[in-house]
């Protein structure tokens, strides 16, 4: 058995464990708090006449940020597919898979998840932008406000998922270059992400 299987599997296990932590403790992390902030923000601007321009500009900034992230993920995915295609083909055809094959598949999965999440965030921010531009107090604005609240909440969560998957690419790349570096890089990245994802109840705004 290839000796590099152990550090490679450990790298993937750390990444999976971190994702599992986010699933098990969603309300204790900053993402849930920030989702509530976005909901409250849209409700507040929907009650302030003249705030339509502010709402549209804020949502446009979020849309541009999500678009940039989606473009980055798309370019990285295309480049990875181009570079990994020969070894992927050889690895899938081999009767004794190499640990590199697992890392390449995980890399492609992370990049695809990042691209899909950020593209959906772009779509939702685009819908929310139309709602934010409706005149405050108009029947249409009243009718669509709750839908807009749902859009900005889901868009923000999807943007966060896309950004996180892109960051988690780093340990996989480290393991591709040097398998023994994978678990160390995965642990460091998970620790940094958790420090950012953790919600401090004493901090204003989470």
Q: Is residue 13 included in any domain, yes or no?
A: no
Count CB neighbours of 61 within 10 A.
11
> Does the pLDDT value for residue 93 go beyond 70?
no
pLDDT, tens digit, for every residue of 18-31? Answer: 888 877 765 566 77
Q: Tell me the C-alpha distance between 118 and 66, whole Å.
A: 6
pLDDT over 90 for what percent of the chain?
Answer: 60
Q: Tell me the C-alpha distance between 48 and 30, whole Å.
A: 27
Half-sphere exposure of 69 (CA within 13 A, CB side): 29
Query: Residue 205: its pLDDT value, please?
Result: 43
Query: Residue 1: its pLDDT value, please?
Result: 52
> Does the pLDDT value for residue 151 go beyond 60?
yes
> Does the pLDDT value for residue 195 go beyond 90?
no
pLDDT, tens digit, for every residue of 112-136? Answer: 999 999 999 999 999 999 999 999 9
* CA angle centred on 107, ends 21 and 26, rounded to 5°: 20
pLDDT, tens digit, for every residue of 52-77? Answer: 999 999 999 999 999 999 999 999 99
> Does the pLDDT value for residue 179 go beyond 60?
yes
Q: Is residue 107 included in any domain, yes or no?
A: yes
The first and second tokens of residue 67, run together, are 């678009």
Split into its structural domains, the chain has a count of 1
* Average confidence (pLDDT) over 130-150: 93
Q: Tell me the C-alpha distance between 85 and 91, whole Å.
A: 10
Q: Is residue 23 included in any domain, yes or no?
A: no
Q: Is residue 25 included in any domain, yes or no?
A: no
Query: Residue 200: its pLDDT value, please?
Result: 59
Note whether 41 and 202 are within 8 A (CB).
no
Q: Is residue 77 included in any domain, yes or no?
A: yes
pTM: 0.85
Q: Domain range for residue 106?
A: 30-197
Cα distances from 160 to residues 70, 113, 186, 202, in angstroms, run: 12, 11, 18, 22
3-state SS, residue 29: strand
When pLDDT is cut at 50, 70 and 90, the band that residue 82 belongs to is confident
Q: Is residue 1 included in any domain, yes or no?
A: no
Note whether 192 and 126 are within 8 A (CB).
no
When pLDDT is cut at 50, 70 and 90, the band that residue 15 belongs to is very high
> Does the pLDDT value for residue 95 go beyond 90?
no
Sign of CA dihedral 106, 109, 111, 114: negative
Q: Is residue 78 included in any domain, yes or no?
A: yes
Mean pLDDT of the chain: 87
Q: Is residue 19 included in any domain, yes or no?
A: no
């Amino acid at each position: 058995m290839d000796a590099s299987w152990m550090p490679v599997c450990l790298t993937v296990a750390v990444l999976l464990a971190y994702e599992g932590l986010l699933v098990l403790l969603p309300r204790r992390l900053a993402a849930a708090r920030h989702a509530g902030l976005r909901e409250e923000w849209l409700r507040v601007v929907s009650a302030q006449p003249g705030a339509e321009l502010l709402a549209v500009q804020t949502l446009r900034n979020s849309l541009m940020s999500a678009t940039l992230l989606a473009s980055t993920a798309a370019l990285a995915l295309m480049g990875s597919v181009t570079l990994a295609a020969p070894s992927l083909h050889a690895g899938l055809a081999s009767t004794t898979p190499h640990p590199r094959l697992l890392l390449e598949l995980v890399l492609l999965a992370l990049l695809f998840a990042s691209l899909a999440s950020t593209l959906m965030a772009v779509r939702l921010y685009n819908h929310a932008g139309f709602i934010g531009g409706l005149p405050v107090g108009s029947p249409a604005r009243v009718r669509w406000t709750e839908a807009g609240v749902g859009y900005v909440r889901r868009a923000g969560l999807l943007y966060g998922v896309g950004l996180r998957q892109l960051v988690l690419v780093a340990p996989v790349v480290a393991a591709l270059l040097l398998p023994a570096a994978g678990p160390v890089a995965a642990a460091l990245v998970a620790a940094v992400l958790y420090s950012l994802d953790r919600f401090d109840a004493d901090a204003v705004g989470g």
